[in-house]
Amino acid sequence: MARVQVDGDALVVVIEGLDKLWALKSRLTIPLPNVRGVTHDPGMIREAKGIRSPGTHLPGVITAGSFHLDDEWVFWDVQNPAKAVVIELTDERYARLVVQVDDPRATVALIEGAIPRA
């Protein structure tokens, strides 16, 4: 599971517990201007993952790590799709972060409230 927080002008995603091992990452920091949007999207788990590099994918159990598909990188950390949020990014290594959080609605509200509006 991931903990998402806003720290100044950055979105910080902290990977917790054993998920650090499966995802091979412990933290992602994204400047808020590079966050395009966020949705609570349990159906995202059914999307094609692409090539795992590096990461873990056991269908129905866990998807964690970096995946490359259609010239884009997506970071995953999901065990329970009902708690998955998708964070859309621009000008970053990853096009999207798909992470499981404790409270998807609160996470969406937090990020939407912090994203600079043009």
Burial class (CB in 10 A: 0-12, 13-18, 19+), 39: middle
- pLDDT for 60 equals 86
Closest CA to 28 of 106, 115, 98, 114: 98
| 3-20 confidence digits (pLDDT tens) | 999 999 999 999 999 999
| Topology (CATH) of 2-114 | PH-domain like (2.30.29)
pLDDT score for 101: 98
Kindly state the tokens that stand for 50: 């692409």
How many residues are there in the chain? 118
Residues 35 and 69: their CA atoms lie apart, in Å, by 20
Q: What is the mean pLDDT of residues 26-54?
A: 92
Query: DSSP letters along 16-63, please?
Result: -TTHHHHHT-SEEEEEGGGEEEEEE-GGGGGS---EEEEEEEETTTEE
Is 0.85 surpassed by the pTM of this model? yes
Could you read off the pLDDT of 68-101 as tens digits, one per residue?
999 999 999 999 999 999 999 999 999 999 999 9
The H-or-E segment that residue 106 falls in is helix 104-114
